[in-house]
């Protein structure tokens, strides 16, 4: 029985932050607010019940403020995440609806809050975009904090942990993650969450291993169990054997050495062996992430997602607020390019929380440029902010989800209107900035020759391009395995885009996940992609891969690639032709 109790068990989750750690598990008890009872509140006590809810929100707000004030220096750049949670505490979608439910249904505050959250979360969870989908986690974290104050549950205080451990929890909020002391916490494992969650972003900033979305971690792992966390592979090993421990320790040591070596080279240019230089840029969601791009050797910002500034508040942001956010990034980047993508959301339900409108298929619905063109005043507010910020640096503007020339024409018209208005008001701005479009809809590839006449660059978003071309939802576990970047159809889509762009004299960039895979670098260079952009942590390895390539050999290789009929055949040819590069990068990734 004892042998079975300590049998090695492997749990699979999502790699939230790369790295390997070994240590004792420390279970964070967060079970106190799961069960909520419903009871009727007498009419004469309703005002008191509403007051109890307001007090809980007030106390939750004070707790968050104390955490923000004590946030360690290395996490100061992520304080905005916690400030966003403070805004959500009094957001109409939670705050007003809960009060309304207490009064109308005469129920206790705990039950009303739970019901409101159960209605609001699915609005985000149904979205196709991974980043937007993860915002459901923010709703959960905020409501949990209010609920803990309502029921009197003990607050989790990670800062008080006084031993070297690996945290195991149902979930960790950004507020809790920001309390992690690096000298005590080796890594963490959670039942919930995903790579795009703010908790995952903070873990990557701290550079501690994290595996999220394990599902049953808190049921399987016990306090003081020895566990291994592999944040790259998304694996947790519980009660590892002596042999597993020995092998993991050797891998961890090699990983640390290789990580240091790659980091030292990260600021060298991404130049092929025969002298061709490729710009390797960073994708960011928060202004504060710009520091990570520079730290990892990024040449600029290839994709600045602007949705966060809209989703983090109860109403639309003003022009000055947007301008300040954009300028903050531009000031840090200096002369380096900053590519600002305009608002890419799934329609009203992502911004105006009061409405309950629900699209059955948001991936094909009112999103991105379609939404902006239906809301021209909201769009022009953002365009004005971008044009104003452009006066202070090297700015490009990128329009998402373009499917035809009419959308480009309308965008240019609104840009001109915004510039004229700023000119009349005497506001400093810059109209003459590069305008690019996302190539992520098959119709944009087919009509690339038409679109290239109106824009200054293409930026390929492979995540959506693969989804729409192959009719595959990456989030659907039944078909996720068919999401294949090396599919011949995808390679032909990319090649046509690059060929047309070259003929028309404009560059082609790539900002999708495919750009972050070092093993794909020879193919992307061979297809004609001029610039790659990715999550900051991927920059050093991709630059390393590019420096290992001799572009003079690529033409013959690409002729063979384009003759392949299956993704497996392409991958086999890649390994055969670039064996040394593949083995080197694969070794670094696995370690």
Asked about 511 being catalytic, the answer comes back as yes
b/e 199-215 (16+ beta carbons within 10 angstroms → b): bbbbbbbbebbbbbbbe
How, if at all, do strands 14-17 and 210-212 pair? antiparallel
How far is Cα 89 from Cα 60, in angstroms, rounded to an integer? Answer: 8
Question: What is the DSSP code string of 266-309?
Answer: TTS--B-TTS-B-EEEEEESSGGGHHHHHHTT-SSEEEEE-THH
Q: Is 62 helix (H, G, I), strand (E, B) or coil?
A: helix
Asked about 358 being catalytic, the answer comes back as no
326 burial level (CB within 10 Å; 0-12, 13-18, 19+): buried
Q: Which residue, 433, 432, 362, is CA-closest to 401?
A: 362
How far is Cα 81 from Cα 71, in angstroms, rounded to an integer? Answer: 12
How far is Cα 240 from Cα 227, in angstroms, rounded to an integer? Answer: 7
Q: What is the dihedral of CA 521, 525, 526, 527, to 10 degrees?
A: 110
How far is Cα 559 from Cα 103, in angstroms, rounded to an integer? Answer: 70
How far is Cα 7 from Cα 109, in angstroms, rounded to an integer? Answer: 45
How far is Cα 591 from Cα 573, in angstroms, rounded to an integer? Answer: 24
> What's CA 517's distance to the chain center, in Å?
16
Contact 563, 570 (CB under 8 A): no
How far is Cα 457 from Cα 437, in angstroms, rounded to an integer? Answer: 7
**Longest distance between any two alpha carbons in the chain, whole Å:** 82
Q: Which residue, 90, 88, 30, is CA-closest to 55?
A: 90
Point out the catalytic residue in the list 85, 141, 198, 487. 198
Q: Which residue, 128, 215, 233, is CA-closest to 480?
A: 128
Q: Which residue, 83, 136, 142, is CA-closest to 113?
A: 142
Count CA within 13 A, CB hemisphere, residue 103.
9
b/e 431-451 (16+ beta carbons within 10 angstroms → b): eebbbbbbbbbeebbebbeeb
Tell me, letter by letter, the H, E, C secondary structure of 401-419.
CCCCHHHHHHHHHHHHHHH
> What's CA 146's distance to the chain center, in Å?
26
Q: Which helix (H) or strand (E) holds 340?
A: strand 337-341
How far is Cα 372 from Cα 360, in angstroms, rounded to an integer? Answer: 20
Residues noted as catalytic? 198, 511
């Amino acid at each position: 029985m004892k042998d079975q109790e300590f049998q090695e068990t492997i749990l699979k989750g999502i790699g939230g932050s790369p790295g390997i750690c070994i240590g004792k598990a420390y279970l964070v008890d967060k079970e106190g607010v799961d069960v909520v009872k419903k009871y009727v509140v007498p009419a004469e006590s309703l005002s008191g019940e509403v007051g109890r809810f307001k007090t809980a929100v007030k106390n939750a707000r004070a707790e968050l403020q104390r955490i923000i004030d004590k946030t360690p220096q290395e996490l100061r750049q992520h304080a905005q995440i916690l400030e966003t949670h403070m805004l959500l505490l009094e957001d109409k979608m939670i705050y007003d609806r809960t009060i309304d439910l207490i009064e109308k249904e005469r129920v206790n505050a705990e039950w009303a809050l739970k019901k409101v959250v159960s209605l609001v979360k699915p609005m985000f969870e149904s979205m196709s975009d991974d980043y937007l989908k993860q915002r459901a986690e923010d709703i959960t974290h905020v409501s949990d904090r209010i609920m803990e104050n309502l029921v009197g549950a003990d607050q989790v205080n990670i800062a008080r942990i006084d031993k070297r451990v690996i945290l195991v929890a149902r979930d960790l909020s950004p507020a809790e993650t920001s309390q992690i002391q690096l000298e005590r916490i080796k890594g963490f494992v959670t039942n919930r969450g995903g790579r795009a969650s703010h908790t995952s972003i903070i873990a990557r900033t701290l550079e501690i291993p994290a595996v999220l979305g394990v599902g049953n971690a808190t049921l399987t792992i016990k306090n003081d169990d020895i566990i291994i966390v592999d944040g790259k592979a998304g694996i947790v090993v519980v009660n590892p054997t002596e042999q597993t421990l020995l092998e993991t320790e050797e891998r961890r040591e090699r990983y640390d050495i290789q990580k240091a070596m790659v980091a030292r080279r990260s600021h060298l240019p991404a130049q092929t062996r025969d002298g061709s230089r490729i710009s390797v840029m960073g994708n960011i969601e928060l202004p504060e992430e710009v520091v990570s791009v520079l730290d990892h050797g990024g040449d600029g910002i290839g994709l600045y997602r602007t949705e966060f500034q809209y989703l983090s508040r109860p109403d639309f942001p003003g022009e000055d607020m947007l301008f300040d956010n954009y300028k903050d990034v531009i000031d840090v980047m200096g002369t380096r390019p900053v590519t600002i993508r305009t608002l890419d959301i799934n329609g009203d339900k992502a911004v105006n929380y009061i409405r309950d409108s629900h699209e059955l298929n948001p991936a094909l619905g009112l999103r991105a440029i379609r939404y902006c063109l239906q809301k021209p005043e909201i769009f022009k507010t953002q365009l004005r902010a971008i044009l104003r910020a452009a006066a202070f640096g090297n700015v490009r503007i990128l329009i998402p989800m373009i499917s035809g020339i009419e959308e480009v024409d309308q965008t240019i018209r609104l840009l001109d209107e915004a510039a004229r208005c700023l000119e009349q008001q005497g506001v400093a701005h810059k109209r003459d900035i590069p305008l690019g479009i996302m190539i992520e809809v098959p119709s944009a590839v087919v009509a690339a020759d038409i679109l290239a006449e109106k824009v200054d660059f293409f930026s390929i978003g492979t995540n959506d391009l693969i989804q729409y071309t192959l009719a595959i939802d990456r989030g659907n576990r039944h078909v996720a395995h068919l999401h294949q970047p090396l599919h011949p159809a995808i390679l032909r889509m990319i090649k046509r885009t690059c060929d047309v762009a070259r003929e028309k004299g404009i560059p082609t960039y790539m900002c999708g996940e495919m750009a972050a895979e070092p093993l794909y670098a020879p193919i992307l260079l061979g297809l004609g992609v001029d610039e790659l952009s990715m999550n900051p942590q991927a920059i050093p390895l991709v630059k390393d891969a590019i420096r290992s390539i001799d572009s003079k050999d690529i033409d013959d290789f690409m002729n063979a690639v384009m003759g392949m009929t299956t993704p497996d055949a392409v991958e086999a040819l890649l390994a055969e032709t670039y064996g040394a590069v593949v083995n080197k990068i694969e070794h670094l990734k696995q370690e």
